[in-house]
Each structure stands twice: as structure tokens, then as C-alpha cells.
Amino acid sequence: MHSMHMAALETGIVPVNWSEDIPRNIDYYLERTSNGSSLSYVVHSWVAVRRNRRHSWRLFEEALKTDYE
């Protein structure tokens, strides 16, 4: 068995493929979140900035509008 897989089994730490796993996780949670509060938009904006700055800014603008209206 590959040493990385053995280490994962022994430590319980699962290796992450940052270029594929993180964007997939971001998409997964953004599709399932209701964004019922402005804080939710702020948090998602912070996470999204690592993948898509334009989308991140739109989420942040939504947070601003939610508190303003």
C-alpha cells in the first residue's frame, strides 16, 4: 500500500487535493445554504474569495443590502 495511504489510515488524517476538493466543497455548501442572515453571506463571501473574487464580492454586497433594508 502507498505510504501516504498508510499514514492516513494510521493517523486518521485524510490527504486533501486542494485544487479539486476545496472548490467542490465550496460548491456543495453554497448550493445547500439558505443564507438566512447577513452573517451567512459574509462567511460565504470570505470562503468564495479563494475561488471566484467576483462572486465573492456579490455575496458581500448581498450581506450589506440585507442589513440595510
pLDDT in tens, 11-64: 666 666 667 777 888 788 878 877 777 788 888 888 888 788 998 999 899 888
Q: Are 58 and 50 in contact (CB under 8 A)?
A: no
14 DSSP 8-state letter = P
Res 54: pLDDT: 93
Domain ranges of the chain: 17-68
Burial readout 8-19 (b: 16 or more C-beta within 10 A, e: otherwise): eeeeeeeeeeee
pTM: 0.58
pLDDT band at 1 (very low <50, low <70, confident <90, very high): very low
